[in-house]
Homo-oligomer: A and B are copies of this chain.
Amino acid sequence: MPRPETVPDEPETDEGERPVDLGQLPGLVGYRLRRAQLAAFRNFSRRFEPFGIRPTQLGVLTIVARNPGLTQSRVGAALGIKRANLVPLLNELEERGLVARERASFDRRSHALHLTEAGEALFRDLLAREAEHEAEITALIGETGRRRLVELLAKVEQACGDAAGPEDE
């Protein structure tokens, strides 16, 4: 039985007015997930603004960097991005000269992806900056907390995904 009350309070109590009663929300995993994800996303965007890179793009760059020659479909499957939605994403990365598409030798329908030299260079910088971002979080919840969080999130994803995963089509 989930307890409605688990976590202290909410921030949104500006200068004056009485605090708002959030009911069961502060104790719900789903609500906390939404708020935390949004906050982390904003933090990420701010930190990577100079690079013009959004979280999703860094995900794509990572997969391509670690798996050169992978096809679009498989990159999408690895990240839970439908192949239709990957197209404009790759278009931008390609136009910026970070990723290259190449007809696959083994199947002329497929595109084999790899990073350009510029892409490799940028990716290295991004990794460093990403580590800083992660360290910022660790600073507040500790390395133990961070690991536990990652572990719990993976389980939640699995639990929710079992019945209806991010299957492609």
Interface residues of A (CB under 8 A from B): 1-3, 5-8, 10-12, 14, 17, 20-44, 46, 55, 59, 62-63, 65-67, 70, 74-75, 77-78, 80, 105-107, 127, 130-131, 133-141, 143, 145-161, 163-166
Contacts and interface: CB of A to CB of B under 8 A. Distances in A.
A147 B3 CA distance: 9
Given A40-B29, A152-B145, A65 B35 contact: no
A78 to B, nearest CB: 4
A161 B1 CA distance: 30
A139 B44 CA distance: 32
B135 A2 contact: yes
Given A24-B62, A25-B63, A30-B41, 6 more contacts: A1-B143, A23-B65, A33-B33, A36-B156, A139-B159, A145-B155
Contact of A67 (B21, B55, B130): B21
B20 A67 contact: yes
Contacts of A136: 159
Contact of A156 (B27, B34, B59, B149): B149
B146 A2 contact: yes
Contacts of A28: 130, 134, 150
